[in-house]
Structure 1
Amino acid sequence: MKIYKILNNKMPLIGALSALLFTACTDNFEDYNTNPYETTEEMLGYDNLSTGSFFVQMQRNVFPIAQQPEFGDEVYQTMQNLAGDVFSGYMGATNNWYSGANNTTYALIPQWYGQAFSRAFVDVMPAWNSIRNSAEEELPQVYAVATIVKIEALHRITDMYGPLPYLNFGSGALQNDYDSQQEIYYSFFDELNEAIEILTNFNIGSPDATVLDDYDYIYNGNVEQWIRFGNSLKLRLAIRIVDVDPSKAQTEAESAISHPMGVMTSASDIAALNRGDDFNYNHPLYIISHNFDDVRMGAEMESYLEGYNDPRIAQYFDPNQDGEYIGIRNGININSKSDYADGPFSNLNISANADIIWMNPAEVYFLRAEGNLRGWNMGGEARDLYEEGIRISFNISGASGNVEAYLSDGTSQPIGYTDPVSNGNSVGASSDLVSDITIQWDDMASFEKNLERIITQKWIAIYPDGQEAWSEFRRTGYPHVFPVVINNSGGLISTSEQIRRLPFPSQEYQNNSAGVNVGVSLLRGADNGGTRLWWDVN
């Protein structure tokens, strides 16, 4: 039985709340001038919008996609690809924007690093606030699902910047103080626990009922899957804070595992943005890699996947004309785009119709493995959970290799990297920049070695979500990501420690100066890319 059909008009919101239009790749970004802390009556009136279309708007802005499939994907490129995707080592840029002084060489571009903030506070938060105002009391299950989506979107934003104007959102104030990242994370846990409880009670009372199924392009209204995703997201956030509040981390992680519906365990649990008759998009990475020719395989992916003889390499990347897989190191001198875009480097093996993955069960197994490694009750032993994470990653990716042989490989290690264009970018096999971590689980290894083993395999399994991979690299230092060759930060970002965050947007200094200055005071340093976030202490 399907219930809660919210709208008659199911057309998704197209550009109603965002003035960000693009005329060329990474150029001519429009500033936003909307009060980002208030949903106005004018916004609510656009095209007779109501809850369903606001929910669609939230989904399409977690990972930003073009408002029309035929448009470019410059917002995704600047928010995700030229940030987490390259900072994590997943991908290497081919272009030399701004004569090489750009994000890849730590000369952070304001029009680029402001995009994530804009999407969160112009597109996601106002839509969620509208749903809260209309559904929190009368349709709490709708509000609960929207809240899970909001946290999936906003935890990515706080993990880019740190403090945000989050807790008081929707008050209508033009000047909003920022909240510390600790306060934001604790609010995430409270909100997730409330949303999971609401959905659990709703599912017990109406086990066959769906929520927002006409507008849900993740789970088609399946309440049990939303609960498992909510628990899995809570587990992710719990692990993130383990080094700054281990007691809180353990409590939240174990509550996620002990919930009757548990966490993601199978391929059917994947949280991915699907398509429908009235909802379509091209995967932004297809546009960026195949149409723009702006990105290729990262050097680190070559080092690990080739070193491990990992069959997932063929699922992630295309071999070059010689049948080889060659990546690009980031932070290098690129004299001409053609040197790397037209060179012998591996393109991304991705179709325009690929779904954008928000979270997959392989990640959850690795989160559980780490939790058990720390002595927590994760419903299994670290070794078993680690190995199951690899198995399900092989399954999800469609890798054709023998996974059991892969699991028993105790000798293969990452290899050095050779840049065929400029040897100065190469990394020797014996360099301390190249890890010696192997695949096979080792009960006799130190905690740190097995942690590196878990994070390395998680890094491989959650590709291509570079934002999450970058967050985990900052938290743990794993896997080994090659430092930039050219550092144009003027000393603000350490080459060895690498980039730790993005600066607050310039628009905030113009439109919310008092609030953003509170945010700066909550940082552990200056407002630049070298300052560590609250949970980043290793």
Structure 2
Amino acid sequence: MKFKNKIFASSLLLLVAIGGVSCKKYLDVNANPLSSLKVEPKLLFGYAVTAWDVSKNSGDNYLAVGFVGQTFSSGGDFSGNWGSSNLYNMSSNVLTNNWRGYYANTGLNLKTAIKLAEENKDPNTAAQCKIILAQVMYETTTLYGDIPFSQAFKIDEFPYPKYDSQKDVLEGLIAMLDEATAQMNSANPLKISDYDIFYKGNLDQWKKYANSLKLKILMLMVDKDPSKAAAIGTLVSNPAGLISTAADNCRILYSETPNNENPKYRLFLGDDPLTYAGKVSTDIMIPKKDPRLSRYFDKPAGETEFIGVEANVDADKHTSTLGSYLLRKAAPSLIISAQEMLFLQAEAYARGLGVTKNLATAQGLYKDAVIAAMTFYEVPQASIDTYVADNLVNLTTAADPVKEIHIEQWIDLIDRPAEAFVQWRRSGPDGTEVPKLTLPKDATPGPLFRRFVLPQEELGANINIPQPTAVYSDKMWFDL
């Protein structure tokens, strides 16, 4: 994928401040924050989460994955930004910037913060950093597959870290989350509070976040490893231990204050994004009169209908664009939400994963998930009520209730393309994924895109690269 416009480079956005904390406060860490072991863990944490959220909301991630995952469209040669190209030919910038973002800018800082916190007998800070590190490594493995994990971030001991299988990485993430929740101690006053842009040091909410991420990982694994159903059942049977309300959502708040805007706003600075509604999305949403259409996409002046375009096909003056609502300055960056947990619980009951199969229970959770999803995007209550009354599928009578859940899960994730891409791949065996995608115009003939390949920088630096190296159409371990 070769973009004409360079505005998406994540390095341009690294200085964005977050959570109402000044830019200077977050950048007290110098260009090499690891050069002094006297740096406070909270500073490393603040730098790491800033870099991480900027990277995942950049063109190198948000747009690149959105195009190949078909949540939205480049618009082909009609677009003055992207131009028609082989979407499957990812640029070196995309591959390298994501890899560096996960490992050098975020993971290494978090790992160092964990080490310092544990040396300082500060288990809560260590736990907070471990939970974010688990999230970051989850995102890394779901993009790249097998990755350095057990030997990662131990530069002196393992200058050429081995690649762990995706299964082992995911098992390690579950263990990391369990370790984090076990070491939290509310009686210990030491923790990250002022630099905690997620929960301001509320350890109960951090535990819910850890449990919710654990459930996501287990649901990713269960089709390949059915033994994970028991652990799923344990979590689903105790919903109070999960993110269950909007107040518990793990998200980063932005504002209209200069230098504190959402990184996606900084991509286009309020100008025409020249990025378009994907036809896969509009084909699902328009027949159901989904009120999120006006949140996700904008109609050009004079147009009365939403119009999507297929991947890499030329848009025109009538095509709907990526919504200004999503790109507004104060848009929050959502990490894990209550609606995600409700959808996963609904799926667990619809499939009988660790719990007795119960479509009536699944229906209630599914309905609550859709309402929570629409509420998050500030859909008027009357529009939500109409959608639920007229267009919400009844899972108890549906021919394929799990498919219906997966459709709504994917629609909810349109503004989080990397998560939508994971959801699509885990939704069914090859050829049955939800929604159905087709090969983009001008893409290399053959299978659909299923992963990022390793950046050339890593291929040339690590002697332990797996052989043969993966190509974009290779399935990962979890991908049936």
> TM-score, length-normalised on structure 1?
0.75
> C-alpha distance in 2, partners of 1:15/1:483?
46
Aligned to 2:138: 155
Among residues 92, 96, 102, which one is paired with 1:114 in the alignment? 96
Aligned to 1:452: 403
Q: Secondary structure at the match of 1:11?
A: helix
Please give the residue correspondences for 1:294-373 in structure 2 after superposition, counting only pairs within 5 Å: 294-321=274-301, 322-332=303-313, 334=314, 340=316, 344-348=319-323, 349-350=325-326, 351-373=328-350
> C-alpha distance in 2, partners of 1:63/1:467?
13
Aligned to 2:235: 256
- Offset, 1:131: 1.0
Whether 1:529 and 2:465 are equivalent positions in the alignment is no
Aligned to 2:25: 11
Tell me the amino acid that sits aligned with residue 453 of structure 2: P
Aligned to 2:20: none
**Per-residue Cα deviation, 1:415-462 (whole angstroms, up to 9, x for no partner):** xxxxxxxxxxxxxxxxxxxxxxxx31231334xx11110011111223
Judge conservation of contact 2:125–2:190 (CA < 8 Å) in 1. Answer: no
Whether 1:181 and 2:160 are equivalent positions in the alignment is no
Judge conservation of contact 1:16–1:43 (CA < 8 Å) in 2. Answer: yes
Once the two structures are aligned, what percentage of the paired residues are identical?
A: 20
> C-alpha distance in 1, partners of 2:343/2:354?
14
Judge conservation of contact 1:162–1:501 (CA < 8 Å) in 2. Answer: yes
> C-alpha distance in 2, partners of 1:396/1:407?
15
Judge conservation of contact 1:473–1:479 (CA < 8 Å) in 2. Answer: yes
Which has the larger displacement, 161-170 or 472-481? 472-481
Aligned to 2:113: 131
- Offset, 1:246: 1.4
Q: 1:99 to 1:391 in 2, by over 3 A?
A: closer
> C-alpha distance in 1, partners of 2:237/2:124?
21
State the aligned residue count: 442
Q: Secondary structure at the match of 2:162?
A: coil
> C-alpha distance in 2, partners of 1:260/1:532?
32
> C-alpha distance in 1, partners of 2:70/2:343?
19
- Offset, 1:301: 2.1
Q: 1:51 to 1:316 in 2, by over 3 A?
A: same
> C-alpha distance in 1, partners of 2:433/2:443?
24
Aligned to 2:459: 509
Whether 1:143 and 2:126 are equivalent positions in the alignment is yes
Q: RMSD of the alignment, in Å?
A: 3.0
- Offset, 1:373: 1.5
Judge conservation of contact 2:211–2:242 (CA < 8 Å) in 1. Answer: yes
Aligned to 1:426: none
Judge conservation of contact 2:29–2:47 (CA < 8 Å) in 1. Answer: no
Please give the residue correspondences for 1:105-504 in structure 2 after superposition, counting only pairs within 5 Å: 106-137=88-119, 138-172=121-155, 173-199=158-184, 202-203=185-186, 205=187, 211-248=191-228, 250-258=229-237, 261-275=240-254, 280-288=259-267, 290-291=270-271, 293-321=273-301, 322-332=303-313, 334=314, 340=316, 344-348=319-323, 349-350=325-326, 351-376=328-353, 381-400=361-380, 401-409=382-390, 439-446=392-399, 449-476=400-427, 477-489=432-444, 491=445, 493-494=446-447, 498-504=448-454
Which has the larger displacement, 279-288 or 230-239? 279-288
Judge conservation of contact 1:229–1:263 (CA < 8 Å) in 2. Answer: yes
- Offset, 1:49: 3.4
Aligned to 1:82: 64
Judge conservation of contact 1:142–1:212 (CA < 8 Å) in 2. Answer: yes
> C-alpha distance in 2, partners of 1:378/1:266?
22
> C-alpha distance in 2, partners of 1:354/1:45?
34
Judge conservation of contact 2:96–2:455 (CA < 8 Å) in 1. Answer: yes
Q: Secondary structure at the match of 1:486?
A: coil
Q: Secondary structure at the match of 1:272?
A: strand
Tell me the amino acid that sits aligned with residue 288 of structure 1: L
> C-alpha distance in 1, partners of 2:258/2:247?
21
Structure 2, unpaired ranges of 5+: 1-22
> C-alpha distance in 1, partners of 2:182/2:247?
22
Judge conservation of contact 1:165–1:515 (CA < 8 Å) in 2. Answer: no
Judge conservation of contact 2:85–2:312 (CA < 8 Å) in 1. Answer: no
- Offset, 1:90: 1.9
Which structure 1 residue ranges, 4+ long, deviate > 6 Å from structure 2? Answer: 276-279
Aligned to 1:94: 75
**Per-residue Cα deviation, 1:70-95 (whole angstroms, up to 9, x for no partner):** xxx9x810123112x22333211136
Judge conservation of contact 1:147–1:192 (CA < 8 Å) in 2. Answer: yes
- Offset, 1:510: 1.1
Judge conservation of contact 2:124–2:190 (CA < 8 Å) in 1. Answer: no
Q: Secondary structure at the match of 1:64?
A: helix
Judge conservation of contact 2:151–2:161 (CA < 8 Å) in 1. Answer: yes
Judge conservation of contact 2:34–2:109 (CA < 8 Å) in 1. Answer: no
- Offset, 1:14: 7.5
Aligned to 2:4: none
Structure 1, unpaired ranges of 5+: 1-8, 18-41, 66-72, 411-438
> C-alpha distance in 2, partners of 1:277/1:394?
23
Q: Secondary structure at the match of 1:357?
A: strand
Q: Secondary structure at the match of 1:358?
A: strand
Q: Secondary structure at the match of 2:152?
A: coil
- Offset, 1:358: 0.7
> C-alpha distance in 2, partners of 1:94/1:352?
24
> C-alpha distance in 1, partners of 2:389/2:166?
40
Tell me the amino acid that sits aligned with residue 471 of structure 1: V
Aligned to 1:415: none
Q: Secondary structure at the match of 1:185?
A: helix
Tell me the amino acid that sits aligned with residue 404 of structure 2: R
